[in-house]
A = this chain, B = another copy of it.
Amino acid sequence: MKQLSTLSIAVITTLASHSLFAQEPIAIIEPAKITQPEKVELGKMLFFEPRLSKSGFISCNSCHNLSLGGVDALPTSIGHNWQQGPINSPTVLNAEYGLAQFWDGRAKDLQEQAAGPIANPKEMGFTHELAVSTIDSMPGYQSRFAAIYGKDSVNIDNITDAIAEFEKTLVTPNSPFDKYLEGDKEAISESAQAGYQLFKDKACSSCHNGPAVGGTMYMKMGLVKPFHTNNPAEGRIAVTGKESDKHVFKVPTLRNIELTYPYFHDGETWTLEEAVNTMADIQLGAALTEKETKEMVSFLKSLTGEQPQITLPILPPSNANTPRPLPFTN
């Protein structure tokens, strides 16, 4: 009898918490389900592969550093020949949850995104043709592509497909906030709980929602007051051509936001306190008290999840057929 009632209580508690959290704007991040481990491993090699750049020096991991929350922690990125990038590098962590990729959503998915920087003259500065020749010159890559995609299958679509498959594994489950959502009320501080309530009450969650706490929509940066920046990026208008999309950007994820400073598309804001107050001001026309700011920051810090544990790949050596890097050529 006693065991039965314990079970009943557990069932009731579970149902109650499910019905409660069904109404929450934020969903938990699930651990990665790896169904194609060979493709993920190949994608990891390519993610860390500096020979996908003209210089032989810049890899995906250079600007989406998995030691640093999937970003470079710089206002804007450093590209080929130390060129200054136009916009803050978004995190690769939980990026799969985005409705599209890049700040302006110009790539429909992770695969399409991965092709961009390789051939961007201000980023990796290479060409898809040379990237393919480089990878295809190495038997260590050829055999892996053959096993996954079939014979003679080293091409840009498969290179970016493998990178995307690896990136899909870069999720950060089990944050304190997720444990809280799952019913562990002790998982986050009272201050963080108050911050979450505020986050909902002030309607932050009307844009920052879903598993990634962002990435589900486009929104104007500077909804009630203009956002002051020297950064010339105009956002989604570059994709749609619509005047109404000027200064409209993909809402960024708030997962691991403690790690992904500096903030906003211009990367000019270094602290969460300042970022929160700027958002309140320009998106809501509101001012937070010092206590409210602290609570909001406590909540945001509870969104830092378990970082992917990555074993550094060992890359196959170049050989006489591999195009040589050109680090000091513009």
Contacts and interface: CB of A to CB of B under 8 A. Distances in A.
Interface of A: 48, 50-51, 55-57, 62, 65-69, 72-75, 78, 81-82, 84, 258-259, 261, 270-271, 307, 309-315, 317-320, 324-325, 327-328
Contact of A324 (B81, B270, B309, B317): B270
Contacts of A261: 317-318
A81 B78 CA distance: 9
A53 to B, nearest CB: 11
Contacts of A314: 67, 307
A82 to B, nearest CB: 4
Interface residues of chain A: helix, strand, loop or mixed (majority): loop
A325 B74 contact: yes
Given A56-B74, A73-B56, A328-B84, A312 B310 contact: yes
A310 B48 CA distance: 13
B307 A73 contact: no
Contacts of A318: 73, 261, 270
- How many monomers of this protein are in the complex? 2
Contacts of A270: 318, 320, 324
Nearest to A322: B270
Contacts of A271: 319-320
A56 B319 CA distance: 32
A73 B325 contact: yes
Contacts of A312: 66-67, 309-312
Instruction: Indicate the member of A55, A314, A320 with the most B CB atoms within 10 Å.
Output: A314
A62 B328 CA distance: 16
Contacts of A315: 67-68
Nearest to A304: B317
A45 to B, nearest CB: 8
18 contacts: A50-B72, A51-B73, A56-B73, A66-B312, A67-B312, A67-B315, A68-B315, A73-B325, A74-B325, A81-B82, A84-B327, A261-B317, A261-B318, A271-B319, A271-B320, A309-B312, A310-B312, A312-B312
A328 B48 CA distance: 24
B48 A74 contact: no
A73 B319 CA distance: 11
Given A67-B48, A74-B57, A74-B325, A311 B309 contact: yes
A259 B317 contact: yes
A206 to B, nearest CB: 27
Nearest to A48: B67
Nearest to A261: B318
A78 B66 contact: no
A185 B313 CA distance: 30
Contacts of A66: 312
A263 to B, nearest CB: 12
A167 to B, nearest CB: 15
Nearest to A309: B311
Nearest to A61: B312
